[in-house]
Amino acid sequence: MKYQELEKSKEYKYGFVTDIESIKAPKGLNENVIKFISKIKKEPKWMLDWRLKAFNRLKNVKEPNWQKPKYPKINYQDLYYYSAPKSAQDKPKSLDEVDPKLIETYKKLGIPLNEQEKLAGVAVDAVFDSVSVATTFKDKLTEKGIIFCPISEAIQKHPDLVKKYLGSVIPITDHYFATLNSAVFTDGSFVYIPEGVRCPMELSTYFRINSSETGQFERTLIIADKGSYVSYLEGCTAPMRDENQLHAANVELIALDDAEIKYSTVQNWYPGDEEGKGGIYNFVTKRGACRGKNSKISWTQVETGSAITWKYPSCILQGDNSVGEFYSIAITNNHQKADTGTKMIHLGKNTKSKIISKGISAGNADNTYRGLVDISKRALNSRNFTQCDSLLMGNKCGAHTVPYIKNKNASSIVEHEATTSKINEDQLYYCNQRGLNQEEAVGLIVNGFCKEVLQQLPMEFAVEAQKLVGISLEGSVG
Amino acid sequence: MLEIKNLQASINNKTILKGLNLTIKPGELHAIMGPNGSGKSTLANVLSGKSGYEISGDVNYEGKSLKKVSVEERAQRGIFLAFQYPLEIPGVNTNNFLKTSLNSIRKSKGKKELDTLTFLKLVKEKASELGINEKILSRQLNVGFSGGEKKKNEILQMKILDPNLSILDETDSGLDIDALKTIASGVNSSRDSKKSFLVITHYQRLLEYIKPDFVHVLSNGKIIKTGCGELAEELEKTGYQKLN
């Protein structure tokens, strides 16, 4: 009885599909589809050319296959590369004009857009499938000269910025999925913070995959000009599906002199069922360039969803004295697999990086931390500190740590600490004896294990993330 | 309150409790003494519902059998165990743990959960009653606590959760005289006509500060002698050996 209840409670909370007519590009990946996407987005020619260049490149590159989690071969000709809610054709000017069904969906997700404007102080560039449907707080940001809009809009309105920075951190030649994204990306966020401006609110986007068999290719570009600061939050959930859905986003961050970007993610895509059927393939390329001196980029991620998570949010520390940080919680349960970590490339002098990774594995899941710390010859007096902790629950799951460390000069210091532990039965007993049930106890202990990372999240995210940590592991003990 | 009839418990095919009988009425404080390996901690564990034991016999609590009642449900119904070795839980703030615990128990009784401010007020009050430095409550649960701090923290939890039946498993061992007094005052100030206590101890020392209604001697899985407070003093002089 209890077991069944547990099973029930584990069922994916956000498993529903909104019935909205979609416009779709025909199935398959070819020049015409790319032209279709570019046309529907009303893109200038240079953008189409850029996409086609990536597409041509794609023909000659192969998918990487060095990762630990293997997946069945993806038939790229069998996917839709564009789908949009129909109502987005006539773009809503305000929330009142948004399709009520979309609003309903957001409500189920716990994102009451109309309340958010008033309450949270969070500007939301909401992406439903591939098209942005509502953007709030624009006026307040415009006042400060901040640009926060869908990237498709930025391509039209701010071509100089896009031309200058798009692909400058993740070149279109980078690797298979990055190249694929460059060819077919549909939408995403664009942020520009002008010199000396501190963004007055957390910028936030909610992504959601909805249409069946639609690969989702987001593209996000964030530029923090000299002396500016921005904190960006990204959170996502996806409806229940049987087929695997590919999600291959590219996120590029650029921090100029004395600028700081804080990028936080809570990822809760559909992980597949208890048998490992279905679930999202989350193959994301995230990279930030600390281009200016004294700049800082900080990644925080809470990865609890997806059948396979495969991503390495990285920092290229070009500017002298620049700082890169990576805080990660990766939770895998049932048949989920994660191969995640970071790359810290030290190029400038006195550059510093910090990596805190917490991997939690339960059920039959497999969790790998893979990270590169590369300190170049001229990156004198650089420092890295890495801490990788793994927590195992049960005896069918796996945890792996694969650190690559290259230090090419004698004045730099690299530290690496790693631990692996099992969740302690006595700790659970102690919590039970204080009236906590198994789930509450696991949630408490795991949240304690992840504390250093959770602390990095902005307040409004931290609460949600703490709950998510508990929910993700429900039924994994006892 | 508690009625134990012919309780047998074994673990890994080794029988530890061999037909134990004990009745504790509301308002009574019973002390259990006995040599190492007599089954004192096993009794505490079994009463709390810890898994891993093969059990026969009857244990009734407030008139109902505890058979198949989970650890957390026993806790929610008012059974509290002060651990001999309180567990460390890294990253979990002590106050937060206490609040989660109290609210779980309140919730199970259909009571409203306490908000943070009300809770902190309660903790502050109870901590100062026990002379516990509030600073330890903002630290990670039992992490880096001294032996005395851990045990005091157990008693603080007891005060806050306000159980009907408190089982103290060698809470006094390894404590200096001041900590011992703190523990004793925590127990004494909780005693009333409804609350019951089962105090497990090695030494008579604690019983100088906590006056038991009954003292039982546990040996080889059975209660071999029951008496009043004086029995403890007698044992202190003669040792357990003579009783066998």
What SS3 string covers chain B? CEEEEEEEEEECCEEEEEEEEEEECCCCEEEEECCCCCCHHHHHHHHHCCCCCEEEEEEEECCEECCCCCHHHHHHCCEEEECCCCCCEEEEEHHHHHHHHHHHHHHHCCCCCCCHHHHHHHHHHHHHHHCCCHHHHHCEECCCCCHHHHHHHHHHHHHHHCCCEEEEECCCCCCCHHHHHHHHHHHHHHCCCCCEEEEEECCCHHHHCCCCCEEEEEECCEEEEEECHHHHHHHHHHCCHHHC
pLDDT at position A9? 39
pLDDT at position A3? 41
Q: How many CB atoms lie within 10 A of CB B225?
A: 16
Does B72 sit within 8 Å of A437, measured CB to CB?
yes
Of A292, A311, A197, the closest CA to residue A253 belongs to: A292
Strand-strand pairing, A131-135 and A123-128? antiparallel
Best mutation target, B51, B70, B72, to test chain A (most A CBs within 10 A)? B72
Torsion angle (degrees, nearest 10) of CA A96, A101, A103, A106:
-170
Instruction: Give the closest of B90, B101, B157 to A436, CB-based.
Output: B101
Q: pLDDT tens for chain A, 478 residues: list them.
A: 344 443 443 455 555 455 555 667 778 889 988 998 898 889 999 999 999 999 999 999 999 989 888 888 888 888 888 776 544 444 445 556 555 655 554 555 555 454 444 333 344 455 544 444 345 566 778 889 999 888 988 999 999 999 999 999 999 999 999 999 999 998 888 999 999 999 988 887 544 444 444 457 889 999 999 999 999 988 755 444 545 588 899 999 999 999 999 999 888 787 887 888 888 889 999 999 999 999 999 999 999 888 999 999 999 999 999 999 999 999 998 899 999 999 999 999 999 999 999 999 998 999 999 999 999 999 999 999 999 999 998 888 999 999 999 999 999 999 999 998 888 789 999 999 999 998 889 889 998 999 899 889 887 677 777 777 777 776 666 4
Amino acid at A145: G
Best mutation target, A432, A450, A456, A469, to test chain B (most B CBs within 10 A)? A432
Torsion angle (degrees, nearest 10) of CA B210, B215, B221, B224:
160
pLDDT at position A290? 98
- Interval B21-48 mean pLDDT: 93
Residue written as token pair 């439903």: A128
pTM: 0.81
Name chain A contacts of B89, Cβ cutoff 8 Å.
427, 430-431, 444-445, 448
pLDDT at position A468? 75
Taking each helix axis from N to C end, the angle separating B147-161 and B94-108, rounded to the nearest 10 degrees, works out to 30
B-chain residue closest to A427, CA distance: B87
User: Looking at CA atoms only, how far is residue A390 from chain B in angstroms?
Assistant: 14
Exposure of A3 in the CB half-sphere (CA atoms within 13 A): 1
From CA B3, how far away is CA A143, in angstroms rounded? 74
Which residues 6+ apart lie within 8 Å of A238 measured at CB? A14, A208, A209, A210, A245, A269, A270, A280, A305
Name chain A contacts of B84, Cβ cutoff 8 Å.
none
Task: Give the residue, A436 or B239, on which the prediction is more confident.
Answer: A436
pLDDT at position A207? 44
Does B100 sit within 8 Å of A436, measured CB to CB?
yes
Q: Are A324 and A331 in contact (CB under 8 A)?
A: no
CA distances from A96 to A93, A120, A133, A208, A367 (A): 8, 19, 11, 21, 44
Instruction: Give the closest of B48, B92, B100 to A433, CB-based.
Output: B48
Q: Read off the pLDDT of residues B152-202 as tens digits, 9 standing for 90 and up.
A: 999 999 999 999 999 999 998 888 888 898 899 999 999 999 999 999 998
Q: Read off the pLDDT of residues B54-72 as tens digits, 9 standing for 90 and up.
A: 999 999 999 999 988 999 9
pLDDT at position A62? 92
What are residue A300's phi and psi, to 5 degrees? -130, 130
Does B87 sit within 8 Å of A447, measured CB to CB?
no
Of A94, A206, A200, the closest CA to residue A142 belongs to: A200
pLDDT at position A342? 97
pLDDT at position A461? 75
pLDDT at position A115? 43
From CA A314, how far away is CA A286, in angstroms rounded? 6
Instruction: Give the closest of A435, A440, A451 to B91, CB-based.
Output: A451
Task: Give the residue, B214 or A474, on which the prediction is more confident.
Answer: B214
Instruction: Give the closest of A427, A429, A440 to B71, CB-based.
Output: A429
Does this complex have an ipTM over 0.90?
Answer: yes
CA distances from B138 to A15, A450, B88, B92, B95 (A): 39, 17, 14, 9, 6
Q: Are A405 and A416 in contact (CB under 8 A)?
A: yes
Q: How many contacts (CB atoms, under 8 Å) link A and B?
A: 70
What are the b/e assignments for B7-32, b being 16+ CB within 10 Å? Answer: bbbbbeeeebbeebebebeeebbbbb
From CA A142, how far away is CA A146, in angstroms rounded? 5
If you compute the radius of gyration of chain B from its CA atoms, what whole number of angstroms results?
Answer: 18
Expressed as residue numbers, the domain containing B194 is 2-243
Which residues 6+ apart lie within 8 Å of A78 measured at CB? A27, A28, A213
Residue B76, domain CATH? 3.40.50.300
How many domains does the structure of chain B reveal? 1
Vertex A328 angle, CA A279 and A337, to 5°: 30
